[in-house]
Amino acid sequence: MKTLAHMAGIAAFLPLAVSCLEKGVLDAPGTQDVQARNKLLRENPSADCQGNKAPPGSYQESLTSSIYYVNTISITSLRERKREWFELCTDDAAEARAWSDASSENSSVQRAFVKFRENEKYFEFQREGIDYRVHKCSYFDPSKVNRLDRERGPLIGTFNQRPIDATNTKELIEYLWFIWNYNIFGSCILSTETAESEDAIWVSLLERTVTGGDWNVPARISIQRVVTKVDKATGNVVAVMRSALDQLSVSPRSNQEEADRFRRLRRSESWPFHDP
């Protein structure tokens, strides 16, 4: 029954997303010419991210080590852990430090504390080889979302900065994308577009991902559209849709056209693989 109810909820939600698309809420310049952009990427695959995670003006960080956001699993001893992964948030630096210490103590490797810093988004406790972070509730609260629950629904968390507008919503969505994808090789944001309806801010990311091939399986570059909505009143951040727009197969063994494309891609700066 729970699965059917969940499917019914999704089915009821999709017409709203489609309605917004039909009304032009997400028809900002650029999204209408997806086919032309995909043609450009097919002809010149290096014309996308150029080694960056996002275009100039978008949110991204220059990291010197891995980052890890503390959660209910990381702060709990191995024997007491449950199948629940709630990322934590607080506006108390002392509480955040205690969670960082607990996460280190319960890890397979205990890492010495090096340095503390903070900004409007998070507290950060730099340790040897990894930076533990804690969300600031005043910015973003994900603590009601169990990331291990397959039926958790579309809610991502709550945006608590006010007022909510297109500028700070765009930064939030790009920030969340970055912290979830910074270490995924070949992934990047090609463009970000925002639109506004009466009760929400909509953000559309054009995302590129690379799936490496092996054992004669061709590698693939995928272009996807990822749409997120933020409610102006509640701040609830909701995943609306993830739609594959195009896939570029790159294999040196299939046919001459594919081989030519593969060679062009292999020579480009964005090609992340060794020669086969």
Q: Is residue 113 part of a domain?
A: yes
Q: Are 244 and 222 in contact (CB under 8 A)?
A: yes
Q: Which domain holds residue 252?
A: 25-267
The pLDDT, as a whole number, for residue 248 is 62
Q: Is residue 17 part of a domain?
A: no
The pLDDT, as a whole number, for residue 261 is 52
The pLDDT, as a whole number, for residue 17 is 42
The pLDDT, as a whole number, for residue 225 is 87
Q: Is residue 20 part of a domain?
A: no
Q: Which of 88, 91, 62 is nearest to 75 (CA)?
A: 88
pTM of the model: 0.75
Which residue intervals of 80-139 are DSSP H helices? 93-105
The pLDDT, as a whole number, for residue 170 is 97
Q: Is residue 50 part of a domain?
A: yes
> Omega into 163 within 30° of 0, i.e. cis?
yes
The pLDDT, as a whole number, for residue 52 is 80
Q: Rg of the chain over CA atoms, in angstroms? A: 21
The pLDDT, as a whole number, for residue 49 is 67
Q: DSSP secondary structure string, 227-273? A: EEEEETTT-EEEEEEEEEEEEEEE-TTS-HHHHHHHHHHHHSTT--S
Report the number of distinct structural domains present in the chain: 1
Q: Is residue 52 part of a domain?
A: yes
Q: Is residue 142 part of a domain?
A: yes
Q: What is the pLDDT of residues 9-38, one digit of tens each?
A: 333 333 334 344 434 444 433 444 455 555
The pLDDT, as a whole number, for residue 102 is 97
Could you say which residues of the chain have pLDDT below 50?
1-33, 45-47, 251-256, 258-259, 262, 266, 269-276
